[in-house]
Amino acid sequence: MASEERGRGRLLHNMPGLLQASLNPWLVRVRNNPERLAFVLHRVTGVIILAYLVAHIFVTSATVDEALWESVMGALSGPLSRVGEWIVAGAVIFHGLNGIRLILVEFLGLGVGRPERPKPPYVPPSLRSGQRKGLYLVFALSLAGWALAGVIMFAG
Amino acid sequence: MRASTLQLLQYLSAMALVVLLGFHIIERVPGLSPLTPESYEESLSYEVVRRAYKEYWWVLALLLAAALFHGLNGLRGILLEWRPAAHRVINLVFVAAFIALLAYGLRTIALHLAG
Amino acid sequence: MAEKEWGRLPEPPREVVLRVKRYDPERGRTWWQEYRVPTYRGMTVLDALLWVKENADPSLSMRYSCRMGVCGSCGVVVNGVPRLACQTQIAAVASRENPVVTVEPLHNHPVVRDLVTDFTAFFEKHRRIIPHIVRRDMREVEEAEYEFLMTPDEHLSIYQYSLCIMCGLCYSACPVAASDPEYLGPQALAQAYRFIVDVRDEGYDRRIAIVDTEHGCHRCHFAATCSAVCPKDVDPAAAIQRLRRIVFLRRLGLWRKRKVAPLAGPLEKPLRRIRAEYPRHNLVEGADPERQAREPVDIDFREEWLRE
User: What are the sequence ranges of the domains in chain B?
Assistant: 3-114
Containing domain of residue A83, as a range? 30-155
Is the CB of B61 inside 8 Å of chain A's CB atoms?
Answer: no
pLDDT of the residue at B43: 79
Task: Give the SS3 label for residue A111.
Answer: coil
Supply the angle between the helices B46-55 and B87-114 in degrees, to the nearest 10: 100
pLDDT at C247 over 80: yes
Segments of chain C assigned to CATH 3.10.20.30: 15-117
Which of C74, C239, C221 lies closest to B77 in space, CA to CA? C221
* Percent of chain A whose pLDDT exceeds 90: 79
Does residue B43 contact residue B28 with C-beta atoms inside 8 Å? yes
Question: How far from A106 is each of A153, B71, C19, C42, C105, CA to CA, in Å?
Answer: 34, 18, 39, 41, 31
> Which residues in A lie closer than 8 A to residue B16 (C-beta atoms)?
none
pLDDT, tens only, C122-134: 999 999 999 999 9
| Residue C159 CB neighbour total at 10 angstroms | 15
Residue C52 amino acid letter: V
Rounded to whole angstroms, the Cα distance separating C11 from B115 reads 80
pLDDT at B101 over 80: yes
> Which residues in A lie closer than 8 A to residue B50 (C-beta atoms)?
63
Which of B83-87, C180-184, C286-290 comes out lowest in average pLDDT? C286-290
- The domain made up of C15-117 is a member of CATH 3.10.20.30: yes
* Percent of chain B whose pLDDT exceeds 90: 70
pLDDT of the residue at A144: 98
Task: Give the SS3 label for residue A135.
Answer: helix
The arithmetic mean of pLDDT across residues C59-65, rounded, is 96
> Which residues in C lie closer than 8 A to residue A5 (C-beta atoms)?
none
ipTM > 0.90?
Answer: yes
Tell me if A19 is assigned to some domain.
no
pLDDT of the residue at B4: 93
The arithmetic mean of pLDDT across residues A23-49, rounded, is 96
Rounded to whole angstroms, the Cα distance separating C306 from C308 reads 5
Looking at per-residue pLDDT, the higher value among C266 and C269 belongs to C266
Are C237 and A124 within 8 A, CB to CB? yes
Question: If you ran DSSP here, which 8-state letter would residue A12 be given?
Answer: E
> Which residues in C lie closer than 8 A to residue A109 (C-beta atoms)?
241-242, 244-246
Question: If you ran DSSP here, which 8-state letter would residue A63 be given?
Answer: G
Rounded to whole angstroms, the Cα distance separating B34 from B46 reads 16
Q: What b/e string do you get for C259-285 counting C-beta neighbours within 10 Å, with b at 16 or more?
A: eebeeeeeeeeeeeeeeeeeeeeeeee
Rounded to a whole number, what is the distance in Å from the CA of A77 to chain B's nearest CA? 10
Are A47 and B18 within 8 A, CB to CB? no
Is the CB of A53 inside 8 Å of chain B's CB atoms?
Answer: yes
**Structural domain count of chain A:** 1
Rounded to whole angstroms, the Cα distance separating C105 from C23 reads 9
Are B115 and A64 within 8 A, CB to CB? yes
* Percent of chain C whose pLDDT exceeds 90: 78
**DSSP-derived pairing of the beta strands C111-113 and C116-117:** antiparallel
> Which residues in B lie closer than 8 A to residue C212 (C-beta atoms)?
2-4
Radius of gyration (C-alpha) of chain B in whole angstroms: 17
Is the CB of B5 inside 8 Å of chain C's CB atoms?
Answer: yes
pLDDT of the residue at C6: 54
Does residue A18 contact residue C219 with C-beta atoms inside 8 Å? no
Are B108 and A61 within 8 A, CB to CB? yes
Segments of chain C assigned to CATH 1.10.1060.10: 120-251
* Percent of chain A whose pLDDT exceeds 70: 94
The arithmetic mean of pLDDT across residues B38-57, rounded, is 85
Rounded to a whole number, what is the distance in Å from the CA of B38 to chain C's nearest CA? 42
Rounded to a whole number, what is the distance in Å from the CA of A103 to chain C's nearest CA? 10
pLDDT of the residue at B100: 97
pLDDT at A127 over 50: yes
pLDDT of the residue at B32: 80
Shortest CB distance from B84 goes to which of C182, C244, C248? C182
Rounded to whole angstroms, the Cα distance separating C120 from B9 reads 35
pLDDT band at A108 (very low <50, low <70, confident <90, very high): very high
Rounded to whole angstroms, the Cα distance separating A45 from A49 reads 6
Which of A2-11, C89-98, C205-214 comes out lowest in average pLDDT? A2-11
Are C238 and A113 within 8 A, CB to CB? yes
Rounded to a whole number, what is the distance in Å from the CA of C133 to chain A's nearest CA? 20
pLDDT of the residue at B39: 78
Are B8 and C180 within 8 A, CB to CB? no
Which of B26-40, B51-65, C232-246, C247-261 comes out lowest in average pLDDT? B26-40
Are C181 and A14 within 8 A, CB to CB? no
pLDDT of the residue at C139: 92
Are C248 and B8 within 8 A, CB to CB? yes
Are B84 and C180 within 8 A, CB to CB? yes
Give C119-150 as a DSSP string. Answer: -HHHHHHHHHT--S---SSTHHHHT-SSPBP-
Is the Cα torsion angle C213, C219, C224, C229 positive or negative in sign?
A: negative
Rounded to whole angstroms, the Cα distance separating C50 from C37 reads 10
Task: Give the SS3 label for residue C29.
Answer: strand
pLDDT of the residue at C7: 62
Average model confidence (pLDDT) for chain C?
Answer: 91
Backbone angles phi, psi at B45, to 5 degrees: -65, 160
B86 CA to centre of own chain:
26
Q: Which residues pair with C19 in a beta bridge?
A: C34, C102
The arithmetic mean of pLDDT across residues A98-118, rounded, is 94
Are A103 and B14 within 8 A, CB to CB? yes
Tell me if A24 is assigned to some domain.
no
Question: How far from C291 is each of C278, C288, C294, C296, C297, CA to CA, in Å?
Answer: 11, 5, 5, 9, 11
Element (DSSP H or E) covering residue C37: strand C29-38
Element (DSSP H or E) covering residue C41: none
pLDDT of the residue at A1: 42
Which of C97, C77, C75, C86 lies closest to C48 in space, CA to CA? C86
The number of helices, as runs of H, and strands, as runs of E, in chain B is 4, 0
Shortest CB distance from B82 goes to which of C179, C214, C218? C179
Are A126 and C238 within 8 A, CB to CB? yes
Please report which residue ranges of C65-215 form alpha helices under DSSP H.
Answer: 90-93, 120-128, 139-142, 152-159, 169-173, 185-196, 204-211
pLDDT at C308 over 80: no
pLDDT band at C270 (very low <50, low <70, confident <90, very high): confident
Selected for mutation to probe chain B from C179, C182, C212, C218 (highest B CB count within 10 Å) is C218
Which of A68-82, C26-40, C75-89, C219-233 comes out lowest in average pLDDT? A68-82
Query: What is the assigned CATH class of domain C120-251?
Result: mainly alpha
Question: How far from C126 is each of A13, A84, C40, C117, C187, CA to CA, in Å?
Answer: 20, 46, 38, 16, 7
Please report which residue ranges of chain A form alpha helices under DSSP H.
Answer: 18-23, 34-60, 66-75, 79-102, 130-155
pLDDT at B24 over 80: yes
pLDDT band at C3 (very low <50, low <70, confident <90, very high): low
Q: What b/e string do you get for A103-116 counting C-beta neighbours within 10 Å, with b at 16 or more?
A: bbbbbebbbbbebe
Shortest CB distance from B81 goes to which of C180, C251, C252? C180
Which of B4, C201, C228 lies closest to A106 in space, CA to CA? B4
Rounded to whole angstroms, the Cα distance separating C21 from C33 reads 6
Q: What CATH code is carried by the domain that includes residue A62?
A: 1.20.1300.10
pLDDT at C106 over 50: yes
Is the CB of B101 inside 8 Å of chain A's CB atoms?
Answer: yes
pLDDT of the residue at C79: 96
Rounded to whole angstroms, the Cα distance separating A49 from A99 reads 13
C150 CA to centre of own chain:
22
pLDDT of the residue at A50: 98
Shortest CB distance from A64 goes to which of B67, B81, B108? B108
Rounded to a whole number, what is the distance in Å from the CA of A93 to chain C's nearest CA? 19
Does residue C198 contact residue C133 with C-beta atoms inside 8 Å? yes
Which of A131-145, C148-162, C243-257, C291-305 comes out lowest in average pLDDT? C291-305
